[in-house]
A and B are shown apart, each in its own frame.
Chain A
Amino acid sequence: MRNVNALMVGVGGQGVVLASDIMAEVGMNSGYDVKKSDSLGMSQRGGSVVSHVRWGQKVFSPMVKQGEVDFLLGFEQLEAARWAPYLKPGGVAIVADVVIVPVSVIGSSVPYPNQNEVKNTISRYSDKIYFIPANRIGLEVGNPRALNMVMLGCLSVFLGLEAEAWTNNICQHLNANFVRSSLEAFSRGAAEARAMTLSKAQSLS
């Protein structure tokens, strides 16, 4: 049984907590001991959100140690860069191409980093970085708020469980009106990750 340490980061309102709940329950239902911890602060009001999810035979700390994250899921680019130091060497960063500019950059000398700068920051910790066209997928499946399902779809490719383990849990958590578009977003995310890992493997060979 492998240990999995994931960190999901984003902005209040993006569905980070629901995604981490689903990942934790999928782990539990697959026989893992799991723990998850959200740092919300006052995130309802647009602050950073961080969720730690850990799977293992026996999990102690509900928070992943810095430098030990296997999967960093960035729901927003700036937040992905901010939490990059948690990645372990060789850890996988899955980053949505979503930009939510914080008000703090207005009139400030610290600008919002562009995608290249985000990539450079993350690459100091790991070179396995996948940018996901999450906005486009959200629009195509007709549910822009399904970003979290796109991200879970990407993640699922790396974790080796049957897709049903995920989709069953997603169905339990979502309002019937959103199930179809959410499952579509999930499978589009998975397809995206499969294509990217394949092309990465080809470029390496």
Chain B
Amino acid sequence: MPKTIRLLSGNEALALGAYHAGVKVAAAYPGTPSTEILEALATFDDVYVEWSTNEKVALEVALGAAYSGVRALASMKHVGLNVASDPFFAASTTGIVGGLVVISCDDPGEHSSQGEQDNRHYAKFAKVPMLEPTDSQEAFELMQWAFNISEEFDTPVLLRSTTRISHCKTVVNATGERSGLRQASFKRSPSKFVMVPTYARLRRQAMEERIVKLRSYVENFPLNEMLLADRKLGVISSGVAYQYAREVFKDASHLKLVTTYPVPAELIRRFAREVERVIVVEELDPFLEEEVRCLGIPVTGKDFIPIIGELNPETVESGAIKAGILKTATISPEKAPQQLPPRPPLLCPGCPHSATEFALRRLGFYSPTTPGELPAERKIPGQAKKGGLIVTGDIGCYTLGVYAPLLALDTTACMGASIGQALGLEKAGVPNKVVAIIGDSTFLHSGITSLVDVVYNQGKTTVIILDNGTTAMTGHQGHPGMGISAKGTKTEAVKLEELARGIGVRDVNVVNAFDFEAIESTIRRCVETDEPSVIVVRGACPLHVRASGTPFKVDAEKCDSCFACLRLGCPAISIAEDKARIEVSLCIGSACTICAQVCPQKAIGEVAR
């Protein structure tokens, strides 16, 4: 008998559920907390999976597959759906043939994101039904439901998860077999698939009729659950907030909603009639609260549950105590913890981004980097120094270069923004030179069109592409520059320098990420020219290739304690007895050598002489 009881993360359960539901095509761009869904699907033989260049492409691939009658999904992080919002709305308009499920993993609290947003609004915005699991078991089961609803109502389905659902592991009883598989065949139907205005208006009608039918369908959805206990308090919740609500309001009555758009209005009314007071416990925006209020039911929630950040049992409990819903705290009042040093994330030892960011810091400084300056000294905010660089940044490990001691970045907004921002600053007429830095995967995701824009509009922008040969931040997923597919097979590699030349950039340079002098002199030269330039800084992510070398040592005799090496922000370098010290267990030494290159005293090397 196969083992059906397993401990699975929400993402693994979503993947297994999709597999059981017969998904044939799955596409995604990596993004925390969604990445593991596609990684788990890639372990199955009979599913086509791909890392797409970006989320928009991923959803378009899935949509095309769904038009052929097979079941398809696209998964992404919350901000990924911003990128994919155009095909998301289009998919809602055309509808589908085979089931199409879009998985959005939101990141309340911004564990690893540039912004916080509540993607439940997308369901209402695009008029698409939404399902939200409360644990991995439900995540597994909901995939089957999601595909069924998609096909029954001719609509994409938004399956929304959050960090705690996606990454928590809970017990899953995964019964059943893979089913729902179909042969792909495309049947022409221009009035459904070709959205010229005349046909789009017809579909618009269908979308409204669809939502009306869905409203009555969700009334009997079996995973919505009403639990009547103490009638004084009725708690409506969904997602992981349901678990916190059950934990904190132990005796209360509960209504768990899995269909969160549209909501089951009659079920909510019935619940409200059974209890004296209705509250909603939900993460981020008052989405359900507003739906409940629209039904004419007196309800509270966001007046005591935080609207910002991730919830946990403490925040729900302390909110309820403040609101007078709970009488006593079950936890002892928080004692002020002693002040402890923080442990912020850093670039890794041997990171190929360090030298470039250090060079940008030296060229772009607001305050001088004279020897002896302590690394903790902050870049002085205010006017950019005349002649200094402005560095527009992007999304990836290199974004960590904003922190001390590198202090290398001036902007980071969203995927691919660095190049457009650099051109905008330049065209606005700032007196400074402007450099954009962007990773290889991010450049392929959404930097290419911006570089075309620079060429077309005669910008002078210098674009540094940090090519570490992988999508590192999310855990080393493939991308088109690597020549390796999501399944690990060999494929055509897109060459960044050839791509840049093809776009029309004449000044294209490739430099070694571990050659500090070459990086700095190339940047110096490129920012002085009157044409666009691209510098591909190439060096493998040491975690990805498992790089190792002979660790370096500091010659204490030669070290004059200038601590230039500390400004690289390498976790292996610290101070001991007022001299620089390298931690042997962390240093990859000869595979990197950047600290030795920046040491004015030449005190660092393989063997301390």
Instruction: List residues of A whose CB falls within 8 A of some B CB.
Output: 11, 21, 24-25, 28, 33-48, 59-63, 65-68, 78-79, 81-82, 84-85, 89, 101-108, 110-113, 117, 121, 124-125
Contacts and interface: CB of A to CB of B under 8 A. Distances in A.
A123 B498 CA distance: 62
A165 B332 CA distance: 34
Interface stretch (B58-66, B194-202, B342-350): B342-350
Given A25-B7, A82-B337, A34 B170 contact: yes
Interface string B391-414: 000000100100000000000000
Contact of A79 (B343, B475, B543): B343
10 contacts: A28-B7, A46-B348, A60-B243, A61-B246, A61-B313, A65-B330, A67-B331, A103-B569, A104-B342, A111-B341
A108 B243 contact: no
Contacts of A85: 334-335, 337
Contacts of A121: 337-338, 340
Given A68-B331, A103-B574, 20 more contacts: A24-B7, A39-B111, A42-B112, A42-B345, A42-B473, A43-B345, A44-B543, A45-B397, A45-B400, A46-B345, A47-B343, A60-B246, A60-B247, A67-B331, A81-B340, A102-B343, A104-B341, A106-B375, A106-B574, A112-B341
In the complex, which range does the number of interface residues on chain B fall in? 35 or more
Given A61-B243, A65-B247, A108 B341 contact: yes
B406 to A, nearest CB: 11
B240 interface: yes
Contact of A62 (B170, B341, B376, B473): B170
Given A85-B334, A101-B574, A110 B168 contact: no
Nearest to A12: B345
Nearest to A83: B337
B344 A104 contact: yes
Interface of B: 5, 7, 111-112, 135, 164, 167-171, 240, 243-244, 246-247, 312-314, 317, 330-332, 334-335, 337-348, 374-377, 397, 400, 473, 475, 543, 566, 569, 571, 574-575
Contacts of B339: 110
Contact of A36 (B168, B240, B247, B571): B168
Given A65-B247, A107-B376, A38 B341 contact: no
A82 B338 CA distance: 8
A85 B339 CA distance: 13
Contacts, number: 140
A47 B344 contact: yes
Contacts of B571: 46, 103
B341 A46 contact: no
A101 B331 CA distance: 31
Contacts of B345: 41-43, 45-47
Contacts of B337: 82, 84-85, 121
B334 A125 contact: no
| Closest 10 pairs between A and B when the two form their complex, measured CB to CB | A107-B376, A42-B345, A67-B331, A62-B168, A61-B247, A47-B345, A60-B246, A45-B345, A102-B343, A65-B313
With a 10 A CB-CB cut-off, give which of A45, A47, A79 has the most chain B CB atoms: A45
Majority-rule SS of B interface residues:
loop
Contact of B374 (A89, A107, A111): A107
B34 to A, nearest CB: 14
B348 A102 contact: no
A79 B312 CA distance: 20
Contacts of A124: 335
B191 to A, nearest CB: 47
Nearest to B343: A102
B554 to A, nearest CB: 14
B111 A89 contact: no
B343 A11 contact: yes
A134 to B, nearest CB: 15
A28 B574 contact: no
A160 to B, nearest CB: 21
B346 A103 contact: yes
Nearest to B6: A28
A51 to B, nearest CB: 10
A105 B475 contact: no
B343 A46 contact: yes
Nearest to B169: A36
Contacts of A59: 170
Contacts of B314: 65-66
A63 B313 CA distance: 7
A28 B170 CA distance: 9
A10 B560 CA distance: 34
A84 to B, nearest CB: 7
A165 B393 CA distance: 50
